[in-house]
Structure 1
């Protein structure tokens, strides 16, 4: 058995984190690095990726990539493995958000959201699984949402996409965990990020409703999600598989 202090460490791990330049994705990358892992952050905005890597330090590199370019997913994984090294953790975190009533929601809004969250995550996961099977080692983590667990108005495409993650996690865990690959998800509550402010700024009624049903009475910090991700990908969670872990201050059980 490992020494207790090593059970939650990630030395020897290398994580690819989509949407890793900002918000929750950056916090996950930051906590991974603090726990000893190397990280590859992926996103569309090169300037943000560069700034994030400067903050993350020498254990971080980036790749500019749009997850909706699913025909290039295999190329990305192959290039990273060739030039950086084996990937032992994949975090499907890239996301977009649209807030509209159903009457004003367009087909484009729906398809774009599903393509980023669901199809993009599917393509990268499919691309990396053969390598993880060969390694007999891997963790695949999805960033789900409270919208995966209960109804939230005005975000129908987002809710549909995040709900799809639950089926993906459970099906994948049942299919590939015998190959040494664990699959889990984190369902963040309302976390202080730019995406949260985009959703809530100017909508005090919505903000107060959220805080009113949160037993802890506050928003979470991005690092709360980052440390949960470290746990799920560490040896301390070696028998945790196919779960959706709420990190929400009690929102999902609050009244």
Structure 2
């Protein structure tokens, strides 16, 4: 069974991998044997993430909103490690305002960072993933891929779009033996959600009350699903959207 989850000899690229959920996934994928390229805009955070992983890890400064930067990010990965087998599309952002207060430019910023960039990353990585012969794409959705939230309309729209985009990848690239799946994190304790708890009154109490596990998740809770979806164990799993939420989505 251990061989099913062994990532020795594989190469992963994790966008937004220098913190939060991205780093939690990167650590697990690296721990299963893969070489990992961390992509992020902050040089210091990138370096700290690489130091946390150790050998077989490197970083690249990248802006997922810029197509040229995305192409350079993929090239840096294949140049450094000789190929690309696993793409984790994780970089994202949120602006918490109701529709009537959200500026059009703010809407476009969230959609571009969360959804347009997923298209750019997948498109740029496709030749390397196809050449691998065993490509894996892991996208990051959200509970808001399922539910709506009046305080985050652009985020909810982008994360709903991520699920449909992932299904399009899964069906379009199946003939190339590339599997694509979305992970839908529940309420995970990260810098992004800490700010949400400050901005949204009562959020912490509501999340804990609704979550059967009785707690917020932590980035390491995403490690197991990341290894599963990156490994041979998921070779017949594609086009799915899997909640990792402590049972939040199962509650009525």
TM-score w.r.t. the length of structure 1 is 0.95
Tell me the alpha carbon deviations over residues 196-228 of structure 1, each in whole angstroms, 9 at most, x when there is no partner. Answer: 101112644222222221112211121111221
**Contact in 2 for aligned 1:89/1:140 (Cα 8 Å):** yes
Contact 1:70/1:119 (8 A) holds in 2: no
Deviation at 1:74, TM superposition (A): 2.3
* In structure 2, distance between residues paired with 1:75 and 1:30: 23
C-alpha separation in 2, matches of 1:155 and 1:128: 30
Aligned counterpart in structure 2 of residue 220 of structure 1, from 208, 217, 222: 217
| Among 16, 20, 33, the residue aligned to 2:17 | 20
User: Does the aligned pair in 1 maintain the 2:17–2:39 contact within 8 Å?
Assistant: yes
Q: Report the counterpart of residue 32 of structure 1 in structure 2.
A: 29
Name the structure 1 match of 2:143: 146
Extract structure 1 runs of 4+ deviating beyond 4 A: none
SS at match of 2:5: coil
State the alpha-carbon separation in 1 of the partners of residues 40 and 236 from structure 2. Answer: 31
- State the partner residue of 2:240: 243
Partner of 1:124: 121
Match of 2:180 among 175, 183, 198: 183
Question: Is residue 83 from structure 1 mapped to residue 77 from structure 2 by the alignment?
Answer: no
**CA distance, structure 1, for counterparts of residue 80 and residue 240 of structure 2:** 32
Shift of 1:78: 2.3
**SS of equivalent to 2:137:** strand
Give the Cα–Cα distance (whole angstroms) in 2 for the partners of residues 188 and 215 of structure 1: 15
Task: Answer whether contact 1:68 1:120 (CA < 8 A) is retained.
Answer: yes
Does the alignment pair 1:66 with 2:63? yes
Unpaired segments ≥5 residues, structure 2: none
Q: Paired residue for 2:106, among 106, 109, 112?
A: 109
- Distance in 1 of aligned mates of 2:243 and 2:54: 29
Mapped partners of 2:74, 2:190: distance in 1: 28
In 2, the alpha carbon distance for the partners of 1:202 and 1:69 equals: 29
- Cα distance in 2 for partners of 1:83, 1:57 equals 15
CA–CA distance in 2 between the matches of 1:49 and 1:134?
Answer: 27
Gaps of 5+ in 1: none
The reply to whether residue 43 of structure 1 matches residue 40 of structure 2 is yes
- The match for 1:137 is 134
Q: Deviations over 1:165-213 (max 9, x none)?
A: 1111111111111211000010000011111101112644222222221
Structure 2 residue 44 is the aligned partner of structure 1 residue 52: no
Higher mean C-alpha displacement, 145-154 vs 70-79: 70-79
1:187-202 alignment, distance < 5 Å:
187-201=184-198
